[in-house]
Structure 1
Amino acid sequence: MPETRLDVLCIGNAIVDVIANATDDFLSTEGLVKGSMRLVDAEEAERLYSHMGPAHQVSGGSAGNTAAGVAALGGRAGFIGQVAPDQLGEFYRHDLTATGVEFITAASDVGEPTARSMILVTPDGHRTMNTFLGAAQHLPSKALDEEQIRASAILYLEGYLWDPETPRYAMVRAIEVAREAERKVAFTLSDTFCVDRHRDGFNELLDGGRIDILFANQAEVEALAGIPHLESAVAAIAPKVGTLVVTRSEDGALAVRGNERADVPAEPIKELVDTTGAGDLFAAGFLFGQARGKSLEESLRLGAICAAEVIQHYGARPEADLRALAGELTA
């Protein structure tokens, strides 16, 4: 097999996160469900933005966060996603490449601005996301650099991008290219709303043997299996995929590969500030571990360390030195 240039190549929505504190009363007034993610149009995005308190911006998007996490661990990470040729698009590219991520997908004028997500963080650390997908949801197959895919040990795809039709075709093509090159394909279910809308499509991917590593949280794997019980859902889904990884917030995480299973506890934290990006950074740690030949348990521990770091501050990008936190696990 040819040498790899990248450990992990992530495909997802290129979204600028606009993060602000909010009270439970503010959410109620706005009719928002705490902890949820909803899609909004440009008009609603502008309206909500005008009502929010002081905010700070960071380049986000689930797969982009994962790519940044892999790079922070010392891994070779790449990202494929679409921004518009506007100020936010330039901000996104600079912010992501500054973390060491290879982002060579050209900006494209599709008549919509760069995507943004208004993230409201309540005092208990929960985030309520209001996402305007803008240019991100129009990522076409022709935007893929297929050589970049072939040169990556693991291709990682976010379920959020499966929702619009155009990028779904791009993801299917990327999977084909990766599989032809005998690379691993990882997929995250992203959100229960993605599972509810695309259960058949996701199961088709799994049943077709096209996914090597599947990431889900407890609610997502139960939704995919249609079984409201963790162990039963794991038993139903694990045989369909090479490796199943299930995160369980403060209850840790588990991974199943064939007859092998590993469980790890959550890493201790001083204070929960903002859960944005916890799953994304968990995936970064696990994928880095797998790309470097680590065991299931070591990869889970890397994931837990990365997730614990990111939930102790605002935003979905690591601020502390992940390599130092992970110590020998990154060797």
Structure 2
Amino acid sequence: MTQTPAKYDVIAIGNAIVDVIARADDAFLATHALTKGAMQLVDADMAELLYDAMGAAVEISGGSAANTLAGMAALGKSCAFIGQVRDDQLGDVFAHDIRALGIAFDTPVRTEEPPTARCLIMVTPDAQRTMNTFLGASQFLPAQALDKASIQDAQILYLEGYLWDPEEPRAAMRTAIGYAKEAGRKVAFTLSADFVISRHRDDFMALIDEGLIDILFSNEDEIGTLTELPDFEAAVAAIAPKVPVLVCTRSEKGAIAIVDGVRSETAAAPVAQIVDTTGAGDLFAAGFLTGYVEGISVEDSLKLGALAAAEVISHYGARPEADLKILRAQNLG
């Protein structure tokens, strides 16, 4: 197949969420039976209870795949996002924020309940984030909302594992994979969280075994859950032959990528002070994918991922604040 030039470097499908971030101590987590450092789904009642109990908060548009696009857009890449919001205040906030970054976002808004999704994030003094996500409208993304032409006009379709959990967007993502493959485009998938993998391991392994995933993003824990192998190297060895590109982040131990059987590694980029680890994996993916679509070396793509991740954990929120282009020029040339 002759590959036509793409309008977008990456088009992503993910949760359209507004993050609500506040400081909290361990006692607050204990009072509300929250598992430190984990992400859990909550219903509307629990979301309201936690919101009322939180201290002064910052509201910033988020969502894993949307955060990745924010990083890529900051690095000069052309991006589009598909995700569901409600016609409410937070829906307007999300749409404004993502479009302000230069990211195309044309998904029709939902006019029925539930409201736009939000993630209530408690950040403890050790910079660990405990995330409580109310998926709201985002879990009702229908296949009819997909723009086939836009999906086929992107080099890479990037899918957020979190959104695989609800039935309707899961069906939409399956449809999107078909559109991308029909056009000869690449499909990238991020595993997102252990609880998602535990529920949908068979689905994820089927996608991998059928050759539908070209680029797989995971962290050290997630690849262990996917393979049901506790040893990291054994887990990597089990998955790497099945995908053309496997990227695994390892927090302070850096990250690895295995591309067509060749392994590359990078150390974690230095951070003066870790403030909030929210979005570290999302921004790592942003840096790596930027390097990938530019065709730079795997090693430099990993370094760019580590640099973007280091920037985002140096402040509150999962979107970059510093100019990533300048940081890249200063650190990577």
TM-score range, shorter chain: over 0.9
Q: Which amino acid aligns with 2:208?
A: L
Report matched runs for 1:158-177 at 5 Å. 158-177=160-179
Pairing of 1:168-317 with structure 2 (within 5 A): 168-317=170-319
Report the CA distance between 1:328 and its aligned residue: 7.8
Q: 1:311 to 1:232 in 2, by over 3 A?
A: same
Q: Of the candidates 131, 134, 137, which is equivalent to residue 133 of structure 2?
A: 131
What SS does structure 2 have at the residue aligned with 1:8? Answer: strand
1:197, distance to aligned residue in structure 2 (A) = 0.8
Residue 295 of structure 1: how far off its partner (Å): 1.6
> Which letter maps to 1:66?
T
Give me the CA root mean square deviation. Answer: 1.1
Specify the code of the residue in structure 1 equivalent to 2:163.
L
Percent pairwise identity: 59
Return the offset for 1:259.
2.5
Cα separation, 1, equivalents of 2:102 and 2:318: 16
TM-score, L = length of structure 1: 0.98
Q: What residue identity is the alignment partner of 2:77?
A: G
Partner SS, residue 105 of structure 2: coil
Give TM-score, length-normalised by structure 2: 0.98
Other-structure match for 2:124? 122
- 1:262 aligns to what SS in structure 2? strand
2:194–2:221 CA contact under 8 A, matched in 1: yes
- Correspondence for 1:21 among 20, 23, 29: 23
Q: Could you tell me which residue of structure 2 aligns to residue 104 of structure 1?
A: 106
Aligned equivalents of 1:65 and 1:111: distance in 2? 25
Letter in structure 2 aligned against 1:107:
V
Deviation readout 1:150-198 (Å, 9 max, x if unpaired): 1101110010000001000100011110111111100000001111111
Q: Deviations over 1:100-132 (max 9, x none)?
A: 211111111232100001000000000001110
Instruction: Tell me the CA shift for residue 77 of structure 1.
Output: 1.2
Q: Distance in 1 between matches of 2:239 and 2:123?
A: 33
1:330 Cα offset (Å):
8.4
Gaps of 5+ in 2: none
Q: Answer yes or no: is the 8 Å Cα contact 1:323–1:330 preserved in 2.
A: no
Q: What is the number of equivalent residue pairs in this alignment?
A: 331
How many Å separate the matches in 2 of 1:295 and 1:46? 46
- For residue 92 of structure 1, what is the aligned residue in structure 2? 94
Verify the 8 A CA contact 2:241 2:261 in the aligned structure 1.
no
- The answer as to whether partners of 2:240 and 2:261 remain within 8 angstroms in 1 is no
Tell which deviates more after alignment, 97-106 or 207-216. 97-106
Contact 1:8 1:288 in 2 (8 A): no
CA distance in 1, matches of 2:310, 2:75: 14
Task: Give the distance between the partners of 1:168 and 1:101, measured in 2 at CA.
Answer: 23
